Structure 1
Amino acid sequence: MSRSLRIGIDVGGTNTDGAILDPSRSSDPGRGILAWTKTPTTPNPSQGIASAISALLAQVPANENANGGDGISLANIASVTIGTTHFVNAMVERDARHLSRVAVIRLCGQFSKHIPPCVDWPDDMRSLVLGYHARVRGGLEVDGTPIADIDEAEIREQCKEIRKRGITSIVINGIFSPIDITEKQEEGAARIAKDEIPGCHVVCSKDVATLGFLERENAAILNASVLRFARKTIKALEEAVRVLGLACPTFITQNDGTILSVQAAAALPIRTFSSGPTNSMRGAGFLRELDQPGKGSVLGSGPVVVVDIGGTTTDVGLLLKNGFPRQQMLYSELSGIRTNFSHPDIKSIGLGGGSIVRKNPLRVGPDSVGYMLTEKALVFGGDILTATDCAVLLNPDLSIGNRALAVGAVTDEELEQFKAIVKRKLEGIINIVKTSPGDLPVILVGGGSVIAPDMLEGASSVWKPRQSGVANAIGAAIARTSAIVDTIRSTETKTSQEILDAVTQEAIEKTIATGAASGSVEVAEKEVIPVQYVANISRFIVRAVGDFDFARTTETSTSSQAGYLGTTEADDVEQPRELVTEEPAPLHVPEPPCVDVHTYKPDVRRRVWYISETDLSWISTGCYILGTGGGGSPYPQMLLLRQLLRSGAAIRVVNPRDVPDTATVGSGCGVGSPTVSVEKLQGDEMMEAQRALYQICEQQPTHMISIEIGGLNGLQGMTLGCNMDLPCVDGDWMGRAYPTKWQTTPVVFNERQPIWSPVALSDGNGNVVSITSASSDLQVERLIRAVLGPLGSLAACADPPVAGAEMKRWVVEHTLSQSWRIGRAVAKAKASNRLDDVAEAIIDECGGPQAGGVIFKGKIVSVNRTLRMGHVYGECIIEAAVLPRGDEGDEVSHESAESGFRGRIKIPFKNENIAAIRIPGGSKTGDNEPEEQENVLAIVPDLIAVIDAQTGEAIGTPEYRYGQLVSVLGLAASRKWTESSRGIQLGGPEAFGLGHLEFKPIRNFALPISVIDEFDDLVE
């Protein structure tokens, strides 16, 4: 037997599973699975791993059918691959013994100065981990040119401070570092840190995650915090393998279903945090082939739904055609911390073999006896009725425990109810994961799969492999190696396809460098995403995978990796736990106690609304929904304002009707690309632009107002007002988000032309541009777009002030109040676990059915985008579905009459959603006859908002992706837009190239109720 056997081990919280595979026999009936085992996980994981491997090795010689009677020698083992949850558990459990203090050096200049590291972390975790932070010169623009070169002396000075505090784990985070192909910035700073602090661990953020400055930094800090523990643990895992006499390489599985060398895993343990579910999914795909020999490969025949039923939860994911789990896009939370590292898109429900079954009425879960199943379940002599007990009673052939001990615990009728509940729960979560209504193969794995039925609606077939209980170990054994290139490139001189080809080759070479055999590498993923408001710039993402080339690995090179994994001085030092930070009190003011969302009242005194953190959170949620798909996420701006509140500042809001006619009302906004805004977090550029403008205007504002309520600019009026100690007006110039400056109500009224001149722009990096005069507001827009490129594709813009009397005529009133009410509706739905009704609750807060309605509910099944003139145009297709209800166990079904919606709709967008149009071939609600023509359900200037059906939060057009469950809301636009032909012309279909479609109001506009009017302390 050649050196080709692979051992897979998965260390779970309860059991350590193992399997031995011979890939050379994958075409045999047994698919080369020589042995498998399940042993209890030990407090010392290395002992459990050693026991599992020993048990595996002991099985093989006795199984002559498996190995042809040849037996097995240690020299036959080519690799040991281990999946473990130990690193993520240290994070979840807030284990101070395993988490190191971390220092953060940002290469950002003045950007992000108001949003320090860990600002959005839970207090206990932040206090445990963050030890020091500093900002120094550096960072890149979106096109890769430096904002500023790093300053070696500046970095050395900060390292001296870090060394003084005894911190040995350091994160370097630079603006747009993931696109740095020169490796001069983060890598250069890392070399300086290692030279200044011998033995320290340095994590470059670009090695951990991709675009998203705060989220990437969060992931890098988590990674750095667990490094010391990871090095020791991985060294112990490898020693467990060596003790058995194995001289093969050891690998660790990572989140995307591929392997890391122990060196890479010791440097990037965060990449292993979600490897457990991924291993199960990969193993499930392999096992399906085992049960269906000769009927085609599941990995090459299309997507498959994998249902992993454990003791407490059921985890469900989609195994793609390329054989790897679908990865979660955008952001995910880990232990209450927002991150953006690669993570499988897994949906979970509280259903497992240990789920507690209660009667009158019959309920299954979500609570569970968990790892105590063999003590607590009836069939094992316990006194708690569990799902496993019911499964044993339903299937006498199951050899689990003593069936007689459970007889009589439930009636036949109750057992039928149990079957129906389990079936409904599984069908619901499966349909949530699917990206189209067609049936897909379903593979059931995990120890709790015995509770699942053999047939499920929405499944073309249901498979329960014989070795399903150790699918995770099998998945580890078959793991491949991979690499990903995620970068932003200019398309000015080369076509997108030429650049994509070059990036693809780069990904292939990178995969080979990780150890893949060159002939085995294939591309698993390709994507090109245009960057909004930036000409000739696109984001390219390519992932490649391949089989590890064991021929390149010699015994000498793999028998000892202690040169990398051996403990260092930094590993052995017990770090002091006191907290020292660059900026004192504001970051560590305790968060306010949780409020009762049902009884909370805002602080309104003498017609002034004093914004609290609760108000701010709700307004932020509402602003993104009113962004109608555009405007960018308000999240970073909300964090900035929250920091101002925690430092003692006041945010004041006044009713527009209370503003004197003689007042001077100023405004400001961010202009440019939302992609850039997630990297270049706001510094002082807003105030720099304001100061430049008022040098031209020679007058100072008395009030501030937001130019648009939709998206992150919806908070800019409060930000400027807070910084300038001025009240902010409860209103804006759009009542939503629009892509251009001329799509504002002052331009609609056209009382003076142009209204938006002069303006001043600042890029926050020392460059200020003033446009003192322009021929029209359209020309102002063109001039701003023309200078955005040299300003880094993102700038702060200060707009000329208007008189209080003008503001009252032009303003869309009470939109901060409207945002607050929308956010409150979402918060109430979450607090009451009634997200199934959140869309209707939002409509109720915006005037009720006479002012708007829920247009559609369903699942996104198609998205396409293209970049034209700096704007991202595209179209989203949504298919009707009944969405999950909190009281029905996560069910979702397609084309059900219960939904009230049928067929499909399309939503064309130009940064923001333009329309909601029923596609021909669907049918109208309550009708049996199919439509023959497109039917416009809503169109601009009315508001079309798409929200996540499972969270109630807004989904921006850049975030649209396949499989999302959504509700589509339509709200009547302000009469400031609809009462004049000019308003319809500027904000309606014609302005978006849809002049062939007629605007018909969805409902009648309802003026939002002022928070100030309702809650003023003078109101009796």
Structure 2
Amino acid sequence: MEYRIGIDVGGTNTDAVLVDENLELVESVKVPTTKDVSSGIFEAMNKVLYKSKIDRKKIKYAMLGTTHATNAVAERKRLCKTAIIRIGKPATAAIAPLVDWPKDLVEAVGNHYYLIAGGNEFDGREISPLDENELRKIAKEIKGKVESIAIVSVFSPVNNKHELRAKEILQEVLGEIPISLSHEIGSLGLLERENATVLNAALVEVARTTANSFKDALKREGLTEAKIYLCQNDGTLMSIDYAMRYPILTIACGPTNSMRGAAFLSKLENALVLDVGGTTSDIGVISQGFPRESSIAVEIGGVRTNFRMPDLISLALGGGTIIREKNGEIKIGPESVGYRITEEALVFGGKTITATDIAVRLGLAEVGSKEKVKDIPLEFAKRVYAKMQEMVNEAIDKMKTSKDPQPLVLVGGGSIIIGNEIHGVSEIIRPNNFGVANALGAAIAQVSGEVDRIYSLSEMSREAALNDAKQRAINEAIKAGANPDTIEIVYVEDIPLAYLPGNAVKIRVKAAGSLI
């Protein structure tokens, strides 16, 4: 029997699960998330292995869904000093890179940017030749001053030649330095794509230390046979090498793990998912078993980006959300006691009223000691609960794309605070093991690759363009660590671009396959 271990880091708890080769849950644990994230991961892994008593040589895969990258951007810590090279002079000189970034984030990344001649028109024609001499001069100038490079060329999703050539030249001078290319990360829209690429470049070191500390932890536990994967934010996995090249793809992987776990536990392909943690609740949609993606630019740490992100609404409502009454008005959150819930909530002998205390007082949940919340006035508890339900109902209404009621899958350890009266849903499903759906989502995930590019149909047929995009997506999935024999195309979208000449079409394809 072979096993896999899945670990997911949330704002409040770090969960770990062990599943067998039939994807049946063998063992699960929850431990409080630690400030440094890593020690919580090690503790969860240690506990789940100790409880299961399984021969560690039989664990063949280890998956990690982590908030390291998200935290680094939010806290402005551990980011690489990054050189930004924008290819597109004079066409793009009007707006400087990082212009809309928060000041403290610009300082963390370093304001090293260069604008050089080159780039392409929207139909792929060259604006001007790439200034190779200028690139060599820049390379000498930044040597030893930066740890990572972001290369961004105008309309590189249409024609990526200048970005690829720039990378070659920089590597000739600088040797092995991490280089992020914008056509591999973002979509159309120069500034948002540039932002995503710079963030990716700045996160390279965080990804490396995360991956290495996870490797070391596995070694320490004797899991020498396990292949290691990190979770992406579309509910699939990528190999460690791939994650070090595209660390930005780990941002928001927690909610998507929960959604994949919800789809797996409920056996539903299409549903709404409400994942309630200790600090926040995320509402998303699973479509064909995968999380629905956002179609608008998403802000990360105050920066607008246009790379793929899950379509989510986050509510400041979780099991540890603090409840107050001010001048007769009830205030729910946004503060939470987080992972200190077992010390601070009333049911555990603390002094803070939390959402969990309200649920226990109303008999919706059995956690801690019911005795300790009997002093909360019933009328007050009912008013708080009504307000909590209102928040959830409103958010679910926003996420729905049709007026027809859809099933809602409730997951996450905090989902005990949600009652059975939610508007606009056909049924509420609380699957077994709902508390560890996130770690399960990590453990059962597939590996994927995606391509998003523009083709000119005056040069090739639509069929040929689709086939080319599919092949590229399959190649990306293989690079990310998928078994070539199991890869299937799971998503195809082609949009005619009327504003581009040459009968242009934007094609997006996702391919997914099993682990090697």
TM-score (norm 2): 0.94
**Which residue does 2:374 correspond to in 1?**
407
SS in structure 1 opposite 2:89? Answer: coil
CA distance in 2, matches of 1:458, 1:515: 40
SS in structure 2 opposite 1:193? Answer: helix
Per-residue deviation at 1:159?
0.9
Residue 543, structure 1, aligned to residue 510, structure 2:
yes
Change (3 A) 1:199 1:493: closer
One-letter amino acid matched to 1:248: A
Summarize deviations over 1:279-306 as a string: whole Å, max 9, x none: 11111111223xxxxxxxx12xxx2111
Tell which has more relative contact order, 1 or 2 (C-alpha 8 A, sep 6+): 2
One-letter amino acid matched to 1:310: G
Residue 233, structure 1, aligned to residue 210, structure 2:
yes
**Which residue does 1:932 correspond to in 2?**
none
- Long gaps (5+) in structure 1: 27-31, 62-71, 290-297, 550-1020
**Which residue does 1:264 correspond to in 2?**
242
One-letter amino acid matched to 1:446: G
Residue 89, structure 1, aligned to residue 66, structure 2:
no
Contact 2:15 2:44 in 1 (8 A): yes
Change (3 A) 1:45 1:350: closer
Which of 40, 44, 58 is residue 32 of structure 2 equivalent to? 40
Summarize deviations over 1:3-59 as a string: whole Å, max 9, x none: x311100123432210011242x5xxxxx1111111223455444333322222222
CA distance in 2, matches of 1:205, 1:493: 24
CA distance in 2, matches of 1:166, 1:518: 41
Per-residue deviation at 1:161?
1.4
Residue 314, structure 1, aligned to residue 314, structure 2:
no
**Which residue does 2:146 correspond to in 1?**
167
CA distance in 1, matches of 2:164, 2:508: 22
Contact 1:142 1:488 in 2 (8 A): no
Per-residue deviation at 1:519?
4.0
Change (3 A) 1:475 1:351: same
One-letter amino acid matched to 2:213: A
**Which residue does 1:738 correspond to in 2?**
none
**Which residue does 2:83 correspond to in 1?**
103
CA distance in 2, matches of 1:226, 1:103: 13
One-letter amino acid matched to 1:158: I
**Which residue does 1:276 correspond to in 2?**
254
CA distance in 2, matches of 1:233, 1:427: 37
Summarize deviations over 1:613-660 as a string: whole Å, max 9, x none: xxxxxxxxxxxxxxxxxxxxxxxxxxxxxxxxxxxxxxxxxxxxxxxx
Contact 1:455 1:461 in 2 (8 A): no
Contact 1:47 1:240 in 2 (8 A): no
SS in structure 2 opposite 1:485? Answer: strand
What is the 5 A alignment of 1:679-694? none
Summarize deviations over 1:193-247 as a string: whole Å, max 9, x none: 1221234221112222121111111111111122223212221111111222212
Quote the sequence identity (%).
40
**Which residue does 1:150 correspond to in 2?**
130
CA distance in 2, matches of 1:55, 1:373: 20
Contact 2:242 2:479 in 1 (8 A): no
**Which residue does 2:103 correspond to in 1?**
123
Per-residue deviation at 1:491?
1.5
Contact 1:254 1:273 in 2 (8 A): yes
CA distance in 2, matches of 1:202, 1:507: 21
Which of 302, 311, 319 is residue 353 of structure 1 equivalent to? 319
**Which residue does 1:305 correspond to in 2?**
272
SS in structure 1 opposite 2:498? Answer: coil
**Which residue does 2:427 correspond to in 1?**
461
CA distance in 2, matches of 1:425, 1:364: 10
**Which residue does 1:134 correspond to in 2?**
114
One-letter amino acid matched to 1:75: K
Per-residue deviation at 1:141?
2.4
Contact 2:254 2:438 in 1 (8 A): yes
Contact 1:170 1:201 in 2 (8 A): yes
SS in structure 2 opposite 1:177? Answer: coil
One-letter amino acid matched to 1:286: F
Summarize deviations over 1:653-708 as a string: whole Å, max 9, x none: xxxxxxxxxxxxxxxxxxxxxxxxxxxxxxxxxxxxxxxxxxxxxxxxxxxxxxxx
Query: Number of residue pairs matched?
Result: 512
CA distance in 2, matches of 1:118, 1:146: 25
One-letter amino acid matched to 1:277: P
Contact 1:356 1:369 in 2 (8 A): yes
SS in structure 1 opposite 2:138? Answer: helix
CA distance in 2, matches of 1:274, 1:319: 15
Summarize deviations over 1:470-520 as a string: whole Å, max 9, x none: 111111101111111111111125443442243223323432343323343
**Which residue does 1:15 correspond to in 2?**
13
Which of 29, 50, 57 is residue 49 of structure 2 equivalent to? 57
Residue 216, structure 1, aligned to residue 183, structure 2:
no
**Which residue does 2:229 correspond to in 1?**
251
Change (3 A) 1:372 1:243: closer
CA distance in 2, matches of 1:492, 1:288: 46
Per-residue deviation at 1:466?
3.2
Residue 422, structure 1, aligned to residue 388, structure 2:
yes
Contact 1:118 1:130 in 2 (8 A): no
Change (3 A) 1:197 1:502: closer
Change (3 A) 1:388 1:105: same
Contact 1:143 1:488 in 2 (8 A): no
SS in structure 1 opposite 2:113? Answer: strand
Per-residue deviation at 1:307?
0.5
CA distance in 2, matches of 1:40, 1:414: 30
One-letter amino acid matched to 1:326: R
Per-residue deviation at 1:432?
0.8
CA distance in 2, matches of 1:482, 1:366: 35
CA distance in 2, matches of 1:202, 1:432: 39
What is the 5 A alignment of 1:572-591? none
SS in structure 2 opposite 1:470? Answer: helix
Contact 2:57 2:222 in 1 (8 A): no
SS in structure 1 opposite 2:111? Answer: strand
Per-residue deviation at 1:113?
0.9
Contact 1:50 1:244 in 2 (8 A): no
- Cα RMSD (Å) of the superposition? 2.0
**Which residue does 2:174 correspond to in 1?**
197
Which of 59, 75, 92 is residue 77 of structure 1 equivalent to? 59
Contact 1:353 1:388 in 2 (8 A): yes
CA distance in 1, matches of 2:135, 2:493: 36
Contact 1:209 1:220 in 2 (8 A): yes
Change (3 A) 1:505 1:39: same
What is the 5 A alignment of 1:824-839? none
CA distance in 1, matches of 2:282, 2:193: 26
Greater gyration radius:
1
SS in structure 2 opposite 1:185? Answer: helix
CA distance in 1, matches of 2:310, 2:359: 30
CA distance in 2, matches of 1:494, 1:266: 35
Change (3 A) 1:229 1:364: closer
Change (3 A) 1:377 1:51: closer
Contact 1:317 1:347 in 2 (8 A): yes
